[in-house]
Amino acid sequence: MIGLSLEGLTVGITASRRALELAHLINNFGGTPYISPTVGIETSMDASKEAADFIKKLVEEKLDYVVFMTGPGVYSLMSAAKKLELERDLVEALKQVIVVARSLKPKIALAHYGIKTDVVPEENTADGIIELLKKSNMQGKKIGVLWHGSYFPVLKNEMSAAGAEVFEFSTYSYSLDLKESGAKILEEMGFKSVYPEQAKVINLIEAINNGLIHAITFTSPPSARDLFKIAEDHKIKEPLLVSLNNNVIVVAIGPSTKKALEENKVQVDVMPEMYKMGPMVKALTNYLSQSYIPKRIGKPR
């Protein structure tokens, strides 16, 4: 395979959000996309007392930092604040603190509401945020954290150990379905999502094991974890791991996703330097342009 091309290859897509956009990129490089989302989101923000308490804390208490881990979380938080008639107060409060966005996605979502992000860590992970905040004196600081659908206690534990008071909340959770509330959030963000279905994921696993998928992309840790959970539930995880490690080019969009795959004993072959979909697809084509690829692509054992 020479040059920047995916000609003749079928590329699995496990994302729900922006799946169609990723499929378009793969088509542009001559590949055939195989869309089978493994993860969706759901939210209960409309009826959540916990959400109201978190919003009021952001508005009423003078926090030093507020950390936003995800774009959809920003939109769902603002939607809840609007229902509570606190959106304007929340925006003004966030203009008075140091705003940390885990990556460009929450930064862009915050900008939609006129909120300036002060800093984005070089490493777009919870560990990257810890390293960033530890550069300042955390003693006595108040820090609010709006999580994505996966929660890792290490952030609160590290900040608390450094003397900070940490307030946390998550506006949504990951699920094997894309519920109406979650779909609405993604639509507000301008994403046309593809709904995950467990039967389609099983079909994807079978296609992988039968040598019909040549490369597979993962754009979030949950997209990887849920694939393996479904495989384990149906007692097909071991052959899936064999196929991924021997016959399929595994592509992770960034360090957190790479870590989730490695935790499931899957070797990651491709990860872009810039953690975005375009660079991810280009990194895949660059990998394919090598004269030697250490995998029997598409050949089942």
Mean pLDDT per 10-residue interval, the chain, length 301 residues: 75 86 93 86 59 89 90 83 91 94 89 93 83 86 82 80 87 53 51 65 94 94 89 94 96 92 96 92 91 65 45
83 and 151 both lie in a single domain: yes
What CATH code is carried by the domain that includes residue 156? 3.40.50.10090
75 and 157 both lie in a single domain: yes
Report yes or no on 112 lying in a domain: yes
With a CB cutoff of 8 Å and minimum separation 6, the contacts of 60 are: none
Q: For residues 37 and 53, what is the distance between their CA atoms, to the nearest angstrom?
A: 33
Give the pLDDT confidence score for residue 294 in this predicted structure: 65
Question: What's the domain count of the chain?
Answer: 2
Give the pLDDT confidence score for residue 239 in this predicted structure: 96
Tell me which of 141, 171, 201 is where a domain ends.
Answer: 171
Q: 149 in helix, strand or coil?
A: coil
Residue 104 CB neighbour total at 10 angstroms: 16
Give the pLDDT confidence score for residue 66 in this predicted structure: 94
68 and 36 both lie in a single domain: no
* The overall pTM is greater than 0.95: no
Give the pLDDT confidence score for residue 295 in this predicted structure: 75
Question: Is residue 167 a contact partner of residue 143, using CB atoms and an 8 Å limit?
Answer: yes
Tell me which of 171, 202, 237 is where a domain ends.
Answer: 171
Report yes or no on 268 lying in a domain: yes
Report yes or no on 136 lying in a domain: yes
156 and 197 both lie in a single domain: no
Report yes or no on 262 lying in a domain: yes
Give the pLDDT confidence score for residue 1 in this predicted structure: 40
80 and 164 both lie in a single domain: yes
Q: What φ, ψ does residue 109 adopt, rounded to 5°?
A: -65, -40
> What residue ranges in the chain does DSSP mark as E strands?
10-13, 32-35, 40-42, 65-68, 98-101, 142-147, 165-170, 173-175, 215-218, 249-252
How many residues in total does the chain contain? 301
Give the pLDDT confidence score for residue 241 in this predicted structure: 97
Question: Is residue 192 a contact partner of residue 15, using CB atoms and an 8 Å limit?
Answer: no
Report yes or no on 131 lying in a domain: yes
Question: What sign for the dihedral angle of Cα 177, 180, 185, 191?
Answer: positive
With a CB cutoff of 8 Å and minimum separation 6, the contacts of 219 are: 14, 15, 18, 22, 253, 257, 277, 280
The HSE-up count of residue 290 (CA atoms within 13 Å, CB side) is 12
140 and 67 both lie in a single domain: yes
Give the pLDDT confidence score for residue 267 in this predicted structure: 96
Structure tokens at 246: 């021997």
Q: For residues 47 and 107, what is the distance between their CA atoms, to the nearest angstrom?
A: 26
Give the pLDDT confidence score for residue 178 in this predicted structure: 42
Domain holding 259, by residue range, is 10-41+192-288
